[in-house]
Chains A and B, each alone.
Chain A
Amino acid sequence: MSPLIAGAIHDAKNGLNVLNTWLEEARRAAPSAAIDEARAVAARVSAQLVELLALYRAGEDTLRLAIEDHDLTDFCQEVTSEVILPPGSALRIESDTDAAAAIGAWAFDAYQVKLVLQEALRNAVRHGAQHIRFAVAAQAGGGLRFTVSDDGPGFPQEVLDGEARAMDSDSSGIGLVFARLIANRHATPGGRHGRIELSNDGGAVFALLLP
């Protein structure tokens, strides 16, 4: 990918930011379901552009994560509060973050991990029926596990087998590629790396494990 393309992604991202400001403005003046739908689309496209940029930089070897301590309770709250649910839908995000308070803080790149988790949540919103669960827990043997699960049809077998990236034919599957990249880039000096785990259990279960 050339720097020109990276620059174009940047421009598009900035354009979306302006669009978002106008949408917020419009919503304040006269809220409507159509505006909320538009905001959700803008948020999704904006996230995908950031993911694309991260993949570009990984290819250029200039992607470096900013690993710092973050309060997990605050972080989980931020992750879920920014996801826009479709207007009038019966969907609810249930957070199970009791473990967050007990764990306290954890070191990770909050910006990138937030993108991964919000992408997973948006996916769950698209495919889930009623309940979406967002949970965080300490891993036995060290590490942290974020889980996003829904009650939809679950991951297709090709995705679970790692043969396909996309949930359906109209998606590029960049979300999973990005999630794998960010998970793997989380490492410890001892050589442990993060990873993602996909499974089906009454719906799709997406897990991000951080070392």
Chain B
Amino acid sequence: MDLSKLNALLIDDIPEMRSSVRIQLADCGLERCDTARNVKEAVDRISAKRYDLIVCDYNLGQGADGQQLLELVRRRKILPLTTVFLMITGETGYEQVSTAAEYAPDDYLIKPFTSQTLQTRLDRIIDKKQALRPVYQHLGERGERQKALAECDAMLAQQSRYALDLLRIKGDLLLETQRNDEALALYQSVLDQRATPWASVGMARALAAKGDGAAAKEHLSNAIGAYPNYLAAYDSLASLLEKDDSAAAQQVVEQALKVAPSTQRQRQLGALALGNKDFSRAEEAFRRTVEKDRTGFFKSHDDYSGLAKSRVEQGKVQEALTAIKEMGQHFARSAELTVRQAAVESIVHAKAGNPAAAKAALDRALEAAGTNSDIDVSASLELANACFAAGDQDQAKRILKNVAEDHQENDAVLEQAQAVFRSAGLDDEGEIFLEATRERMIRLNNDAVALAKSGELDKASAMLDEAADRLHNNAQVAINAAIAAMMRIQRQGASAELIDKAHRYITQANRANPDHPRLGEAVQLYRKFAPPDAPPLKVNL
């Protein structure tokens, strides 16, 4: 295979290793090869240029590893799925690489290796990437799952040699689009031929999606027994258990951490332990997340917040305040950071029995949040936490109502909101409150439709506009507001104001949830009713 036209990036912190691997890459015919010495350089290069191939050493120094880097660039969507990622590892590191759950490299190579071995592997993985390209191009952020599924089926019909890879991708797509029965059938047919970890876990996920949580859990426990290194099994089991048995979920995450250390799971463990009131374990977990990574690339506000909370619960007030101070030192200034710091500080003071200091910090947090309507979910939820801790239930509920309305269709956010109620000791009240919010949002949409049908289109449109202007993350509301605007165009004729509205709300919905099942309907209406000189839509439909 001719590799001379490919753009490659080699990432390794040790200069001798860089030059020796680079020579081996040249032996394979790869001439265009940039290098990066650390995570920062790698991220800069990957953001600036499109690479066909990335060769990365697992150990990157400063407590960072290649797996973290891969997760970071894939999650930030700066590394397309069409780029080949090859990890190089020592004999003891290979298990960690091969266990990667969500973001796995395309292949890994165990040191030492010859140029011949490198060449063979490169040929193989590049061939596979190219063969699967028709599918990959429809995956990812702006991807269209239906088209990806169609490509999978077409290639499977042609008896591709990568049939198993295609089935694996197809299974994921079926689960993502809630075609659970088909997913279950797919995994069952794979497992009838051969036992393989991904199909076992896929089977369990399909069972869980169909509502059979008990069977799913049993499947996952058996899968962990047979494949103790397969982290996806632990992750799936932990997320199932999180809903009804968070002590068991914590144990599963602890087990997974023994298999492979990961900042993400350390953070998850901290959050679970905090919820389970296992404060020393929580402190330990959060301390590891902030200490392991000396590059600063993989940390989050949550780590310092968790550290502060777990410390104050153990009576370590000064150490808790130190964690908040460190939060400020590790991240760039932003409204979210200000809110977060002040909110956690308020919680710490409230728990330490200093209501005046708690009140002062809470006021600062509320003031910083008040000037910024698009503050992120985690900062908003922290603020609600602080309000509860300071005894201001009304303010807390006002914030939670807004979050719940804004993220009405996002179960993960709603679960986090419920967790805020739970930690305030208001579990039952939270459930009622959130259910009422959900019903109110459904009623709003239903009422608007009913109003529109009974001829009061303007009134319906006004109702939806108000909601859409307030709830920027609610795709459902934005889509309905856009459709109402277009119905008015249809009946009353186009006006600049109505076209602008329709365009704005579709764009808003697309930003909130590009996969919303009703987005296509709104886009079609726009293309049908907007006059030729109307601004075009920048959506991928």
Contacts and interface: CB of A to CB of B under 8 A. Distances in A.
B55 to A, nearest CB: 19
Interface in B215-233: 219, 222-223, 225-230
* Interface residue tally on B, bucketed by range: 20 to 34
Interface in A188-211: 188-192, 211
Contacts of B110: 111
Contacts of A50: 91
Contact of B200 (A24, A69, A189): A189
Contact of B225 (A17, A111, A187): A187
B428 to A, nearest CB: 38
A17 B112 CA distance: 7
B228 A64 contact: yes
A64 B95 contact: yes
B49 interface: no
Given A17-B112, A104-B163, A188 B226 contact: yes
Given A20-B112, A189-B200, A66 B226 contact: no
A67 B229 contact: yes
Given A21-B112, A104-B161, A189-B223, A64 B229 contact: yes
Nearest to B112: A17
A66 B99 contact: yes
A35 B255 CA distance: 47
Given A74-B124, A104-B161, A66 B94 contact: yes
B184 to A, nearest CB: 16
Interface residues of A, number: 29
A94 interface: no
B164 A105 contact: yes
B161 A189 contact: no
A45 to B, nearest CB: 15
B195 interface: yes
Interface string B503-538: 000000000000000000000000000000000000
B194 interface: yes
A106 interface: yes
A189 B164 contact: no
B259 interface: yes
A41 interface: no
Contacts of B94: 66, 111
A66 B94 CA distance: 9
Nearest to A210: B195
Most buried by B among A10, A107, A191: A107
A13 B90 CA distance: 12
B197 interface: yes
B338 interface: no
A120 to B, nearest CB: 20
Main SS class of interface, A: mixed
A43 to B, nearest CB: 12
A17 B111 CA distance: 9
Interface string B60-99: 0000000000000000000000000000000110110011
A71 B259 CA distance: 25
Contacts of B227: 65, 67, 189
Interface in A152-211: 187-192, 211
Contact of B196 (A21, A107, A187): A107
Nearest to B99: A66
A68 interface: yes
B196 A190 contact: no
Nearest to A73: B161
Nearest to A17: B112
A34 B186 CA distance: 55
Given A50-B91, A188-B195, A68 B98 contact: yes
Contact of B197 (A71, A74, A104, A107): A107
A52 to B, nearest CB: 13
A142 B191 CA distance: 11
B509 to A, nearest CB: 39
Interface in B4-60: none
Nearest to A21: B112
Contacts of A20: 112
A189 B229 contact: no
A69 B259 contact: no
Contact of B95 (A13, A66, A78, A211): A66
Nearest to B198: A69
A148 to B, nearest CB: 22
A106 B223 CA distance: 16
Contacts of B194: 106-107, 142
B164 A69 contact: yes
Interface in A72-128: 74, 78, 104-107, 111
22 contacts: A17-B111, A21-B112, A24-B114, A65-B228, A65-B229, A66-B95, A66-B99, A66-B229, A67-B197, A67-B227, A67-B230, A68-B98, A69-B164, A69-B198, A105-B164, A106-B196, A107-B196, A142-B194, A187-B226, A189-B195, A189-B219, A189-B225
Given A64-B228, A69-B196, A107-B196, 16 more contacts: A17-B111, A17-B112, A64-B95, A64-B259, A67-B226, A67-B227, A67-B229, A69-B164, A69-B165, A71-B124, A104-B161, A105-B164, A106-B194, A111-B94, A189-B225, A192-B195
5 tightest CB-CB pairs across the interface, nearest first?
Answer: A66-B98, A189-B222, A188-B195, A107-B196, A64-B229
Interface of B: 91-92, 94-95, 98-99, 110-112, 114, 120, 124, 161, 163-165, 194-198, 200, 219, 222-223, 225-230, 259
